[in-house]
Chain A
Amino acid sequence: MKSKNAGTFWSFITSVRLTVILLIAMAALSVIGTFIPQQGEMIDTRLHPGTLPAAVLDKLRVSDLYHSVYFMILMSLILLNLAACTWRRFPSLWKRFKTVPDMEKAETHDFAAAGSVFYGTRGPGEEAGRLEAAMRSSCTKVVRHGKTEHVSILYGERNSFSIFSVPLIHFSVLVIICGAITGSMAGFEGYVTIPEGEAAQSIITKGNRHLKKLDFAVRCDRFSMDFYENGAPREFRSDLSFIKNGRVAYQGPLLVNHPITFEGIRFYQAGYGLNPSGSLIKVKRGKKIWSIQAGTGESFDLPESDVKVTILRIEDDLMGLGPAVKLNIQLPDRNLQFWVLKHIEKIGKEKPMILEMPIFDPGSFRPYSFSLLDIRHGYFTGLQVNRDPGVAVVAAGSIMMVCGFILAYFFAPVQIWIRVDNDSGRAKIRMMAKTRWNKASGEREIRRILREYDCRKG
């Protein structure tokens, strides 16, 4: 009883019915995935906490369907089914490849459906011999059964190795899935934005949004764009330097469709943008006025004093108040921080309350007063940064799959049966080709043998 159950389970796991069900289930799950916004798309459930749909979606993990438990289970079932099917069917396939069908049984083979029936000009024995020779020129495993003048049966195969195209294609699917799993476990995907002229040493990983430190730094020396006459973009280009141990180890342009690989990590041109990067500040003391240019993070010495001023942040629009810079003034005993707004006069008229807050007071450090004249912008480049050790595996799987398809489609295995009967002294010849995939290729093989046969008629 137990073994019977095991047998039932085994035949279920190895059944193609299960395969079809799994394929349809996977298709259905993918359909759902394309209609429910996935993580990083329109609705981010974390941004809408508390709303019912968001909570439900979050519970079911459909917001990240392709990495969900359901998908993993389905994928594992497909792998299991695929492996089991191959395991179960491979021995008989191997046997079919190594051996010739039972010729004793072949005599009762149904030749009624034979596609090609004709009478030979010579006696049955001679015709059978000539057909055998014709067959040998294009077929393998040629067997002639029945040496009598009464009936001869000929068998031959062509492209018999191609029966392995099916397990090859299935195996390639296994390899591709394994490569994908390798990639998702051992690799990472991330993103980094680097302002022109600056270097970055860590990236933000996709998914869990961790900061990941690299063993080297990437500097964007220049970002440039080029446009066609109609305004469509022609080129996005970042000139990058890869800096390891303080030395530039590699330098090169990064373009869309032309990634750079450095130490096994690939960099892709993925985006760009403008960032407020510099500021022009007017410093006033009494009647004296100085203009100072400084970028984010830069410091300058306040004229006629020994304090240092650092630009902490530059914003295009600070909380609707327009362009602003945040300064830090380093005093011997403390740090003084405040924002300098560009449109201070306008704000003074419209919202005078705001300027009464010390953090927005341009005269926080008397007798100096600060004003923001302008903000300069600089490009930053957006790079996608990946490491995927599974790519080679997936590529190998894809090549195997293409080879499998080429074998299956262009070299379909064909079995050819020929029966020569003694029809009152004349040779009645019946030929048929058996092929599971491609009727046309069977007919082609018959024609090939007939051509060869006609050549030997002589």
Chain B
Amino acid sequence: MNIMGWVTFVYLGASVFYLLKMIRQSLLWGRIAGLTAVSGFVLQSLAMIHRWAESYRLGIGHAPLANFYESLVFFAWAIALLCIVIEWRLKSRNIGVFAFPMAFLLLAYASFSPGVDSRIQPLIPALQSNWLISHVVTCFLGYAAFAVAFGFGILYLMKDKKGKDVPGRFLGSLPDPETLDEWIYQSVFFGFVIFSVGIITGSVWAQYAWGSYWSWDPKETWSLITWLVYAALLHSRFVREWRGRRMAFMAIAGFAAVLFTYLGVNYLAGLHSYIK
């Protein structure tokens, strides 16, 4: 089994520890979870650097951001990164209970699904562009931020049932609803900014590669849909001052659009398809 396979299990471990932390409300489990998460993240970073170096050894050197497998791995990496940064900023280990299962599932799919080819492949002409790295990195950081916002949305709905702060056995250690609401918004705002940059870099690239900065390819259209959903969310928060449950629901709906943009679109014909 390669390194990425091991990282998958480390993330599974982190997910279990986060869950134990939540159920037992124990700081010790929280520390173990955080430590496991960080070591998994470091291991994954090393594995990605190794893969990058390996591609140069094969004489087809390129950043590991070029096929479906590599995108799944980078998505998981970005979620882990944001989760670790946010937990460090918030000084509370809670969002990991959603973030690491997501990172685990992405890596498990990447590593163990027979349909995903994990070999390092050379870049086809359309991908031979300096815009590859900036486009993929910004888009997936955006996706990851939306995934984290989705996690906060779920936490919010668990914590705040029908507007009442439920003390509950498991949920006592969760931040108060206002903090969760603030972090739904913070993640969405960050995601929106970086995802906008992702769309812009993508359209610059498309202008060079396909001759048109926008051609209503299903992936382009779905990224616009995702962008519109989050734009609606931000407007309803900024100006109409929607808070709480509505934010949480919109963050969940937005993430559904993200998932369709990433995965669903492969089943529609288009230029972006990972499935040939």
Q: Which residues of A contact B (CB under 8 A)?
A: 16-17, 19-20, 23-24, 26-27, 30-31, 33-35, 37-38, 41-42, 66, 180, 189, 228, 230, 232-236, 255-259, 266, 268-270, 384, 386, 388, 391, 394-395, 398, 401-402, 405, 408-409, 436-440
Binary contact track B200-226/A, C-beta < 8 Å → 1, others 0: 100110011111111010100110110
B12-64 contacts to A, CB under 8 A, are 60
Docked Cα-Cα span, A211 to B128, in Å, equals 32
Beyond the given A23-B231, A256-B128, please list 20 additional residue pairs across the A-B interface where CB-CB is below 8 A.
A20-B240, A23-B229, A23-B235, A24-B228, A26-B228, A27-B229, A27-B257, A33-B221, A34-B222, A34-B265, A228-B122, A232-B122, A235-B125, A257-B208, A384-B210, A398-B200, A398-B203, A398-B204, A402-B197, A408-B193
Q: A16-B239, A405-B196 are in contact. Are A266 and B228 (CB under 8 A)?
A: no
Q: Can you pick out 8 interface pairs between chain A and chain B where the beta carbons lie within 8 Å of each other?
A: A16-B235, A27-B228, A34-B265, A228-B60, A386-B211, A409-B193, A437-B189, A439-B182
B224 touches A30 (CB 8 A): yes
Q: A20-B232, A31-B225, A34-B221 are in contact. Are A405 and B193 (CB under 8 A)?
A: yes
Docked Cα-Cα span, A86 to B115, in Å, equals 50
Chain B, Cβ-Cβ closest to A67: B216
Chain A, Cβ-Cβ closest to B209: A257
A257 touches B228 (CB 8 A): no
Q: A189-B211, A258-B208 are in contact. Are A401 and B125 (CB under 8 A)?
A: no
Docked Cα-Cα span, A1 to B48, in Å, equals 68
Rounded to whole Å, the gap between the CB of A449 and the closest CB of chain B is: 21
Docked Cα-Cα span, A384 to B60, in Å, equals 28
B124 at the interface (CB under 8 A from A): yes
A391 touches B225 (CB 8 A): no
B269 at the interface (CB under 8 A from A): yes
B218 touches A232 (CB 8 A): no
Rounded to whole Å, the gap between the CB of A260 and the closest CB of chain B is: 11
B113 at the interface (CB under 8 A from A): no
Docked Cα-Cα span, A180 to B213, in Å, equals 10
Q: A257-B209, A391-B213, A401-B200 are in contact. Are A24 and B232 (CB under 8 A)?
A: yes
B118 at the interface (CB under 8 A from A): no
B125 touches A234 (CB 8 A): yes
Rounded to whole Å, the gap between the CB of A256 and the closest CB of chain B is: 4
B211 touches A270 (CB 8 A): yes
Docked Cα-Cα span, A171 to B20, in Å, equals 49
Rounded to whole Å, the gap between the CB of B216 and the closest CB of chain A is: 5
Find B125's partner among A41, A236, A409 (CB 8 Å cutoff). A236
B221 touches A259 (CB 8 A): no
Residues from chain A with a CB closer than 8 A to the CB of B85 are none
B68 at the interface (CB under 8 A from A): no
Docked Cα-Cα span, A126 to B257, in Å, equals 57
- On chain B, the number of residues with a Cβ less than 8 Å from chain A's Cβ atoms is 46
B236 touches A20 (CB 8 A): yes
Find B213's partner among A234, A394, A401, A436 (CB 8 Å cutoff). A394
A232 touches B124 (CB 8 A): yes
Residues from chain A with a CB closer than 8 A to the CB of B235 are 16, 19-20, 23
B126 at the interface (CB under 8 A from A): yes
Residues from chain B with a CB closer than 8 A to the CB of A234 are 122, 124-125
Residues from chain A with a CB closer than 8 A to the CB of B124 are 232-234
Rounded to whole Å, the gap between the CB of B93 and the closest CB of chain A is: 19
Binary contact track B116-150/A, C-beta < 8 Å → 1, others 0: 00000110111011000000000000000000000
Residues from chain B with a CB closer than 8 A to the CB of A23 are 228-229, 231-232, 235
Chain B, Cβ-Cβ closest to A267: B211
Binary contact track B256-276/A, C-beta < 8 Å → 1, others 0: 010000000100110000000
Docked Cα-Cα span, A201 to B57, in Å, equals 46
Chain B, Cβ-Cβ closest to A437: B189
Chain A, Cβ-Cβ closest to B214: A180
B197 touches A16 (CB 8 A): no
Find A256's partner among B125, B203, B225 (CB 8 Å cutoff). B125
B193 touches A256 (CB 8 A): no
Docked Cα-Cα span, A16 to B200, in Å, equals 25
Docked Cα-Cα span, A98 to B213, in Å, equals 39
B218 touches A16 (CB 8 A): no
Docked Cα-Cα span, A439 to B189, in Å, equals 12
Residues from chain B with a CB closer than 8 A to the CB of A42 are 269
Find B240's partner among A17, A189, A235, A259 (CB 8 Å cutoff). A17
Docked Cα-Cα span, A234 to B126, in Å, equals 9
Docked Cα-Cα span, A434 to B265, in Å, equals 42
Binary contact track B150-193/A, C-beta < 8 Å → 1, others 0: 00000000000000000000000000000000100010011001
Binary contact track B82-126/A, C-beta < 8 Å → 1, others 0: 000000010000000000000000000000000000000110111
Chain B, Cβ-Cβ closest to A187: B212
B225 touches A30 (CB 8 A): yes
Docked Cα-Cα span, A333 to B113, in Å, equals 73
Rounded to whole Å, the gap between the CB of A192 and the closest CB of chain B is: 12
A230 touches B197 (CB 8 A): no
Chain B, Cβ-Cβ closest to A395: B204
Rounded to whole Å, the gap between the CB of B189 and the closest CB of chain A is: 7
Residues from chain A with a CB closer than 8 A to the CB of B186 are 438-440
Docked Cα-Cα span, A408 to B203, in Å, equals 22
B121 touches A268 (CB 8 A): no
Chain A, Cβ-Cβ closest to B231: A23
Residues from chain B with a CB closer than 8 A to the CB of A394 are 203, 213
Docked Cα-Cα span, A408 to B196, in Å, equals 13
Docked Cα-Cα span, A31 to B216, in Å, equals 11
Docked Cα-Cα span, A37 to B216, in Å, equals 11
Q: A33-B221, A257-B126 are in contact. Are A16 and B240 (CB under 8 A)?
A: yes
Residues from chain B with a CB closer than 8 A to the CB of A402 are 196-197, 200
Docked Cα-Cα span, A266 to B207, in Å, equals 10
B121 touches A232 (CB 8 A): yes
Docked Cα-Cα span, A384 to B212, in Å, equals 10
A34 touches B210 (CB 8 A): no
Rounded to whole Å, the gap between the CB of B137 and the closest CB of chain A is: 15
* 8 tightest A-B CB contacts, nearest first: A256-B125, A268-B211, A16-B239, A27-B228, A384-B211, A23-B232, A228-B122, A405-B193
Chain A, Cβ-Cβ closest to B208: A257
Find A34's partner among B193, B218, B238 (CB 8 Å cutoff). B218
Residues from chain B with a CB closer than 8 A to the CB of A233 are 124-125
Chain B, Cβ-Cβ closest to A38: B216
Find A230's partner among B121, B204, B210, B214 (CB 8 Å cutoff). B121
Chain A, Cβ-Cβ closest to B126: A256
Rounded to whole Å, the gap between the CB of A125 and the closest CB of chain B is: 36
Residues from chain A with a CB closer than 8 A to the CB of B203 are 394, 398
Chain A, Cβ-Cβ closest to B230: A23
